[in-house]
Structure 1
């Protein structure tokens, strides 16, 4: 009897703690502003903690089954628990979610005018992540990035060859494969492409097409290069655990 009462109390406490962590003002505002009523009432997007919605005039597309809280902005799924309150969103172009997605705490998301950003099912970017899309960024399913990682498809400024006067292209699309696992402080810059089942070491800088290396590879360094073949995160062993833990 005591054990049953404890379980009931614990379940109630966990639900109360979860709902207390949701920023309901931003959650309700965002969903009913950006989606048709039938979609909005399901609350597919949850916000946690403080966030500045600088400009959200762009388009959001949700593919697949619409579920409550399938997209988590500032979702507390990591070891650290404190929000610093620096999260910010600027959405001018098109943002497509192919399923569930999590941003950790204190993220920065920018999708420029006429840009396209596609985020795969169960992909994620952890605390302090920065995603800046001015042309095109595509993350495959289960492309998961550690804390303080950044994905940026532009140099921001024009660069020229000082001898010939040739102007270099300022931006280039980024394509990250499915089942990619990037550790913390990884930088993915313009023109980067990675194969499926690619692991990226901590503090790495990726700047080119790594798909010719094939699947099940570990890359790393500044700039990143092949470190090892025949290695992968144990996706099959962790997949159900990830799905259960991150589903609202």
Structure 2
């Protein structure tokens, strides 16, 4: 009797998950972006409303293909309400090194000739804006908190008014492995973080912080070193995170 009840419970969970998937966008994206033998496995799931504005680029999954291994529009946070403003633009090259997860209302843009990469279990929280015009690499088990922005360009030509010299418009971003980026953080061009790095809420990152090595807490505007020997204990949370972001 217990086994039957557990089976029924699992079935209800699967039904709920199936009903939450935006199957039209899921089939369209997979069939458009992958060879047929990959597309039929449906490695990418879309949940809820999403606007696929442009898909002229390339998506590569450099890992064993599994159904729903990449989720866009997932409800893995406490906030369950969505605004329905998710938008995807992939005109450059997007590479996944394994499972990856995106929350609700994410704006995701990889421009022409740009390169964007997500390591295993890379994650963007809800309301995150990612704009890649040159290069953005997010390491494995690296999470970007809700309402943050990851933008590798200032979007406008800026110059030195004395010399007339123009500053670079775009600069690469590299987020290390096992990074915990808190909510409302701005990660701008030129940001490079070490492994096992934590960034405090409402911070502005715009420099190369790898000089501080691993296990550090950064924070402030602009971000600076706050603590050493400081790290999120990912091992305690790994199974919980996998369960929260589970797929079929």
TM value normalised by structure 2: 0.97
The equivalent residue for 1:246 is 245
CA shift digits 1:17-37 (9 cap, x unpaired): 111100000001111111111
The equivalent residue for 2:194 is 195
The equivalent residue for 1:216 is 215
The equivalent residue for 1:69 is 68
After superposition, residues 133-172 of structure 1 pair within 5 angstroms as 133-172=132-171
CA shift at 1:182, angstroms? 0.7
SS at match of 2:150: strand
| Count of matched residue positions in the alignment of Structure 1 and Structure 2 | 247
CA shift at 1:194, angstroms? 0.2
CA shift at 1:197, angstroms? 0.4
CA shift digits 1:45-85 (9 cap, x unpaired): 00000000000110001011101101101011111112211
In structure 1, how many angstroms separate the alpha carbons of the residues matched to 2:245 and 2:62?
18
SS at match of 2:195: coil
SS at match of 2:240: helix
CA shift at 1:178, angstroms? 0.3
Q: Bigger shift: 80-89 or 42-51?
A: 80-89
In structure 2, how many angstroms separate the alpha carbons of the residues matched to 1:178 and 1:4?
40
The equivalent residue for 1:230 is 229
Report whether the alignment pairs 1:94 with 2:89: no
CA shift at 1:218, angstroms? 0.2
CA shift digits 1:108-155 (9 cap, x unpaired): 011010000011110100000111000001111111111011100000
Q: CA RMSD in A?
A: 1.1
- 5+ residue gaps in structure 2? none
Report whether the alignment pairs 1:26 with 2:29: no
CA shift digits 1:130-188 (9 cap, x unpaired): 11000001111111111011100000000111122111111100111000001101110
SS at match of 1:167: coil
CA shift at 1:10, angstroms? 2.0
SS at match of 1:148: coil
CA shift at 1:4, angstroms? 4.3
Report whether the alignment pairs 1:13 with 2:12: yes
- 5+ residue gaps in structure 1? none
SS at match of 2:189: coil
Runs of 4+ residues over 6 Å off in structure 1: none
CA shift digits 1:77-96 (9 cap, x unpaired): 11111221100011110000
In structure 2, how many angstroms separate the alpha carbons of the residues matched to 1:7 and 1:177?
40
